[in-house]
Structure 1
Amino acid sequence: MIPPKPAARPDRVSLLRYLKLFRRDILSAQPQRLYRAWMAELRTPFFRSYLLNQPSLVQTVLKERPDDFPKSDRIGEGLRPLLGNSVFLTNGETWKRQRRIIDPAFEGGRLRDTFPAMWAAGEAAVARMGDGVVDVEPEMSHAAADVIFRTLFSIPIENEIAAQVFDEFRTYQRTQPILNAAAFLPLPRWMPRGHRAQTKASARVIRGLITRLTADRMEEIKVGRAPDDLATKIMTTADPQTSETFSTEEMVDQVAIFFLAGHETSASALGWTLFLLAMFPDWQERVAEEAAILDGPDFSVMSKLKLSRDVFREALRLYPPVPMMVRENACPETFRDRSIRKGSQMVISPWHLQRHERLWDNPDGFDPARWQTENGKTCMREAYIPFSAGSRVCTGAGFAMVEGPLLLSMLVKAFRFERMEGRDPVPVAYLTVRAKDGIWLRVRPRG
Structure 2
Amino acid sequence: MIPPKPEPRPDKVSLRQYVKLFQKDLLSAQPQRLYRAWMAEFRTPFFRSYMINQPSLVQAVLKERPDDFPKSQRVSEGLKPLLGESVFLTNGETWKRQRRIIDPAFEGGRLRDTFPAMWAAGQAAIARLDRFDGQVVEIEEETSHAAADVIFRTLFSIPIEHEVAGRVFEEFRTYQRSAPIVNLGAFFPLPRWFPRFFRKDTKRTAVSIRKLITQLTAERMAAIASGMAPDDLATKIMTTVDPESGKSFDANEMVDQVAIFFLAGHETSASALAWALYLCALYPEWQEKISQEAAELSEDFASISKQRTCRDVFREALRLYPPVPMMVRENTCPENFRDRDISVGSQVVISAWHLHRQERLWDNPDGFDPTRWQTENGKTCARDAYIPFSAGSRVCTGAGFAMVEGVLMLSMILKHFKVTPVGDPPVPIAHLTVRSRDGINLRLERRK
State the TM-score, normalized to the length of structure 1: 0.99
Residue 298 of structure 1: how far off its partner (Å):
0.6
What residue number does 1:394 align with?
A: 396
What residue number does 2:51 align with?
A: 51
Q: Which amino acid aligns with 1:255?
A: V
What residue number does 2:90 align with?
A: 90
Q: Using the alignment, how far apart are the partners of 1:53 and 1:93 within structure 2?
A: 29
Residue 107 of structure 1: how far off its partner (Å):
0.7
Structure 1, residues 321-347: CA drift from partner, whole Å, max 9, x if none?
Answer: 000000000011000000010000000
Out of 164, 168, 175, the position equivalent to 1:165 is: 168
Out of 209, 225, 229, the position equivalent to 1:226 is: 229
Residue 268 of structure 1: how far off its partner (Å):
0.1
Q: Which amino acid aligns with 2:313?
A: V
Q: Using the alignment, how far apart are the partners of 1:429 and 1:185 within structure 2?
A: 21
SS in 1 for 2:50: strand
Contact 1:135 1:441 in 2 (8 A): yes
Structure 1, residues 144-183: CA drift from partner, whole Å, max 9, x if none?
Answer: 0000000000000000000000000010001100000000
Residue 190 of structure 1: how far off its partner (Å):
1.3
| Residue pairs, 1:29-44, within 5 angstroms | 29-44=29-44
Q: Using the alignment, how far apart are the partners of 1:110 and 1:398 within structure 2?
A: 10
What residue number does 1:275 align with?
A: 278
Q: Which amino acid aligns with 1:65?
A: R
Residue 303 of structure 1: how far off its partner (Å):
1.1
SS in 2 for 1:108: coil
Q: Which amino acid aligns with 1:181?
A: L
Contact 1:182 1:194 in 2 (8 A): no
What residue number does 1:215 align with?
A: 218
SS in 2 for 1:85: coil
Contact 1:35 1:356 in 2 (8 A): yes
SS in 1 for 2:318: helix
Q: Using the alignment, how far apart are the partners of 1:430 and 1:343 within structure 2?
A: 24
Q: Which amino acid aligns with 2:217?
A: T
SS in 1 for 2:63: helix
Residue 210 of structure 1: how far off its partner (Å):
0.1
Q: Which amino acid aligns with 2:403?
A: M
Matched, 1:424 2:425: yes
Q: Using the alignment, how far apart are the partners of 1:403 and 1:193 within structure 2?
A: 36
Structure 1, residues 275-313: CA drift from partner, whole Å, max 9, x if none?
Answer: 000000001100000001123x11001110111111000
What residue number does 1:309 align with?
A: 311
Contact 1:239 1:245 in 2 (8 A): yes
Residue 432 of structure 1: how far off its partner (Å):
0.2
Contact 2:11 2:32 in 1 (8 A): yes
Residue 192 of structure 1: how far off its partner (Å):
1.2
Contact 2:329 2:348 in 1 (8 A): yes
Contact 1:177 1:431 in 2 (8 A): yes
What residue number does 2:378 align with?
A: 376
Structure 1, residues 88-132: CA drift from partner, whole Å, max 9, x if none?
Answer: 000000000000000000013000000000000000000101221
State the TM-score, normalized to the length of structure 2: 0.99
SS in 2 for 1:346: strand
Out of 380, 398, 410, the position equivalent to 1:408 is: 410
What residue number does 1:328 align with?
A: 330
What residue number does 2:439 align with?
A: 438
Q: Using the alignment, how far apart are the partners of 2:137 and 2:178 within structure 1?
A: 24
Structure 1, residues 416-441: CA drift from partner, whole Å, max 9, x if none?
Answer: 00111x42110001210000010001
What residue number does 1:235 align with?
A: 238
Structure 1, residues 30-80: CA drift from partner, whole Å, max 9, x if none?
Answer: 000000000000000000000000000000000000000000011101000
Q: Using the alignment, how far apart are the partners of 1:419 and 1:262 within structure 2?
A: 26
Contact 1:68 1:331 in 2 (8 A): yes
SS in 1 for 2:5: coil
State how many pairs are aligned.
445
SS in 1 for 2:360: coil
Which runs of no fewer than 5 residues in structure 2 stay unpaired? none
Q: Which amino acid aligns with 1:94?
A: T
Q: Using the alignment, how far apart are the partners of 1:432 and 1:392 within structure 2?
A: 18
Out of 248, 253, 258, the position equivalent to 1:255 is: 258
| Residue pairs, 1:21-32, within 5 angstroms | 21-32=21-32
Which runs of no fewer than 5 residues in structure 1 stay unpaired? none
Q: Using the alignment, how far apart are the partners of 2:126 and 2:13 within structure 1?
A: 47
What residue number does 1:20 align with?
A: 20
Out of 139, 142, 158, the position equivalent to 1:139 is: 142
SS in 1 for 2:432: coil
What residue number does 1:198 align with?
A: 201
What residue number does 1:127 align with?
A: 127
Matched, 1:293 2:293: no
SS in 2 for 1:416: strand
Percent identical: 73
Matched, 1:79 2:84: no
Residue 353 of structure 1: how far off its partner (Å):
0.2
Residue 197 of structure 1: how far off its partner (Å):
2.0
Q: Using the alignment, how far apart are the partners of 1:182 and 1:303 within structure 2?
A: 45
Q: Using the alignment, how far apart are the partners of 1:400 and 1:308 within structure 2?
A: 14
Residue 15 of structure 1: how far off its partner (Å):
1.4
Contact 2:297 2:304 in 1 (8 A): no
- Using a 3 Å threshold, how does the CA distance of structure 1 residues 108 and 423 change in structure 2: closer, same or farther? farther
